[in-house]
Amino acid sequence: MKTTSVLRQKTSLQDSVLDILNKQMAVEAHSSATYLSMSAWCYSQGLRGCGEFFRKQAAEEREHMMKIFNYIADSGALAISPEISKVERGFEDLRSILVMALDQEIMITENFNKMSEHCQKVRDYQTARFLQWYLDEQFEEEQQARRCIEIFDLMNAKDALFDIDREIHDLKKKD
């Protein structure tokens, strides 16, 4: 005997939109895992401020994933829990991590731009409106990632790692 409600089987989400939303959930999950890996590396290097910064970034990315999950579920569609694989664990140094974080945020922004464009094309204005929050968020994420690199470069790397660590940690206090 089926217990699934007919109402939960119907959705206005088109298959193509549902597909890109589920794919983006996987991107957000991978991003969260990557930031957690960056956090672990920072803690292992004694960079507690950066470790905390990236731990909070990991939590934010998970929240972003869950926001998409909830949107899909609330729409009556099936949200697919993503698999996470191939998470980077070995890092060269703090600057390379900061650059990797910026590259990751730029890639995510590009994804949301493409998703928004697709939603406009298929006339799913509700989902396009939902995605606007992510576009606004991504602007802030890229700005913050660029600022981390600026702090690192302005303080001249190894001679000021303690100060760099503190400054990057303090960026999350402002949120």
**pLDDT score for 47:** 92
- Residue corresponding to tokens 């569609």: 77
Question: Is the pLDDT assigned to residue 155 strictly greater than 60?
Answer: yes
Cα gap 46→79, rounded to integer Å: 39
Cα gap 98→160, rounded to integer Å: 16
Q: Please give the model's pTM, rounded to 2 decimal places.
A: 0.83
Burial of 166 (0-12, 13-18, 19+ CB in 10 A): middle
Cα gap 105→78, rounded to integer Å: 26
Residue 3 or 70, more confident? 70
Burial of 72 (0-12, 13-18, 19+ CB in 10 A): buried
Cα gap 25→61, rounded to integer Å: 10
CB-CB contact of 98 with 165 (8 Å):
no
Average pLDDT estimate for 68-93: 90
Question: Is the pLDDT assigned to residue 7 strictly greater than 50?
Answer: no
Residue 38 or 174, more confident? 38
Residue 36: other Cβ atoms inside 10 A: 18
Confidence of residue 41 (pLDDT cuts 50, 70, 90): very high
The residues, any chain, with a CB within 8 Å of residue 85's CB and separated by 6 or more, are none
Token pair of 85 as six digits: 């694989």
Question: Is the pLDDT assigned to residue 132 strictly greater than 70?
Answer: yes
Positive or negative, the Cα torsion across 85, 132, 115, 7?
Answer: positive
Structural domains for the chain: 14-173 (1.20.1260.10)
**pLDDT score for 157:** 60
